[in-house]
Amino acid sequence: MHARPGVRRLLPLRTAGAQCLIAIAAALTTMAITDPAVAREPRTSRGDEGATRAESAKTDTAQPRATRHHRKQVGIASVYARRFGGRKMADGTRLDLSDHLAASRTLPLGTEAKVTNLETGRSTRVTIQDRGPYAKGRILDLTPAAAETIGLTPKEGVAKVEVQPLSVPARDERKDD
């Protein structure tokens, strides 16, 4: 069987087009690096006076890291299995299942947060001292003591919760940076 005539003619054009796009991208990158108008100016220690227009715009619109951590999160929380009791957590301490502790992938270690079970309306205050959960769709792992306080039993396993960070440690005080 012979291939259709149109297919053979388009194949070289497609690769030539891709090579052309690669050449254009390389030229633009080279121009941006070598063009003095595009090159970054050194910043001075006196605020944004020495910052380029792009850097000033970036700092004006970008939200500081500390305030991003103060957002409420809504998602599924799970309960630590009892077999994890006594194991080391991400901050180096041992997991005490009777403490009100939690694991989060996004909140900095040492963060104090209010966790509210959206089904029961009950809430508790926890400290983020570990990383996890690694199950898809979950935002928090709670110790059995904290889970029991908000009405979540290990038998149920998961519940929809709202997590409101109350205090986020300063960047130099954090143990995860």
User: Residue 78 maps to which CATH number?
Assistant: 2.40.40.10
Which range of residues forms the domain containing residue 119?
70-167
Beta strands in the chain, from DSSP E residues, in sequence order: 73-79, 101-103, 112-117, 123-130, 138-142, 158-167
Split into its structural domains, the chain has a count of: 2
Residue 135 lies in a domain: yes
Q: Are residues 87 and 119 located together in one domain of the fold?
A: yes
* 176 domain-assigned: no
Instruction: Decide if 172 is inside a domain.
Output: no
- Is residue 86 located within the same domain as residue 152? yes
59, with CB counted inside 10 A (0-12, 13-18, 19+), is: exposed
Structure tokens at 13: 């054009």
Which one-letter DSSP state was computed for residue 94? B
Same-domain pairing of 105 and 147: yes
The answer to whether position 175 is within a domain reads no
Same-domain check for residues 50 and 13: yes
Per-residue confidence (pLDDT) for residue 171, from 0 to 100: 78
Q: What per-residue string of b and e applies to 24-44 under the rule 16 or more CB within 10 Å gives b?
A: eeeeeeeeeeeeeeeeeeeee
All residue ranges of the chain with pLDDT < 70 are 1-22, 25-69, 173-177
Same structural domain, 82 and 148 = yes
Count the alpha carbons within 13 Å of 144 in the hemisphere toward its beta carbon: 12
Task: Say what the pTM is.
Answer: 0.59
Check whether residue 96 and residue 32 sit in a common domain.
no
